[in-house]
Amino acid sequence: MSNVILITGTRKGIGKELAQYYLKNSWNVIGCSRGETTISDKSYQHYQFDVSDEKSVIKIVREVSRKFGKIDVLLNNAGIASMNHLLLTPIDKAKDIFNTNFFGSFLLMREVGKIMTKKKNGRIVNFTTVAVPLNLDGEAIYAASKAAVESLTKISAKELAPYGITVNAVGPSPVKTDLIKVVPKDKISDLVSKQAIKRLGEFNDVVNVINFFIDKNSNFITGQIIYLGGISG
Amino acid sequence: MKGKIEKLIINALVDYNEELENPAYGNPDEKTRLYSSEGGMDSIALVGFIADLEERLAVEFNKDIILADERAMSQKRSPFLSVQLLANYIENLLLESEE
Ligand SMILES: NC(=O)c1ccc[n+]([C@@H]2O[C@H](COP(=O)([O-])OP(=O)(O)OC[C@H]3O[C@@H](n4cnc5c(N)ncnc54)[C@H](OP(=O)(O)O)[C@@H]3O)[C@@H](O)[C@H]2O)c1
Inter-chain residue contact B47 with A58, CB threshold 8 Å? no
Sheet holding A28-33, edge to edge: A44-48, A28-33, A4-8, A73-76, A122-127, A165-171, A225-227
Total number of domains constituting chain B: 1
Q: What ipTM is given for this predicted complex?
A: 0.85
Q: How far is the CA of B34 from the centre of ligand 1 (A)?
A: 42
Domain region containing B79: 2-98
Residue B57's closest chain A neighbor by CA? A62
With beta carbons under 8 A apart, name residues in chain B contacting A59: 64
Nearest atom in ligand 1 to the alpha carbon of residue A175 is 3
With beta carbons under 8 A apart, name residues in chain A contacting B41: none
Q: How far is the CA of A142 from the centre of ligand 1 (A)?
A: 12
Nearest chain A Cα distance for residue B13, angstroms: 14
What is the CB < 6 Å shell around ligand 1? A 8-15, 32-35, 50-52, 77-81, 100, 104, 127, 129, 172, 174-175, 177-180
**pLDDT of amino acid B26:** 87
| A8: region left, alpha or beta (phi > 0 left; psi from -120 to 50 alpha) | beta
Q: How far is the CA of B28 from the centre of ligand 1 (A)?
A: 48
Average pLDDT per consecutive 10 residues, chain A (233 residues; last block may be shorter): 95 98 98 98 98 97 95 98 95 98 98 95 98 96 98 98 98 96 92 97 98 98 98 91
- What's the CA gap between A125 and A223, in Å, rounded? 10
pLDDT band at B70 (very low <50, low <70, confident <90, very high): confident
The CATH code of the domain at A4-227 is 3.40.50.720
Q: Are A33 and A15 in contact (CB under 8 A)?
A: yes
pLDDT tens track for A119-131: 999 999 999 999 9
Nearest CA to ligand 1 atom 44: A79
- What's the CA gap between A147 and A154, in Å, rounded? 11
CATH of residue B81: 1.10.1200
With beta carbons under 8 A apart, name residues in chain B contacting A62: 55, 58, 64
- What's the CA gap between A41 and A20, in Å, rounded? 9
Q: Which of B44, B59, B66 sits opposite A162 (nearest CB)?
A: B44
**Interacting residues of A164 by C-beta distance below 8 A, sequence separation 6+:** A116, A119, A120, A121, A122, A219
Q: How far is the CA of B65 from the centre of ligand 1 (A)?
A: 29
- Is the pLDDT assigned to residue B24 strictly greater than 90? no
**pLDDT of amino acid B77:** 83
**pLDDT of amino acid A98:** 98
**Interacting residues of A35 by C-beta distance below 8 A, sequence separation 6+:** A11, A48
**pLDDT of amino acid A222:** 98
DSSP bridge pairs for B82 = B33
**pLDDT of amino acid B37:** 74
With beta carbons under 8 A apart, name residues in chain B contacting A118: 48, 51-52
pLDDT band at B72 (very low <50, low <70, confident <90, very high): confident
Task: Give the whole-number percent of chain B exceeding pLDDT 90.
Answer: 62
Q: Which of A59, A118, A162 sits opposite B51 (nearest CB)?
A: A118
pLDDT tens track for B25-39: 989 999 999 987 777
Inter-chain residue contact A62 with B58, CB threshold 8 Å? yes
**Interacting residues of B14 by C-beta distance below 8 A, sequence separation 6+:** B25, B28
Residue B48's closest chain A neighbor by CA? A117
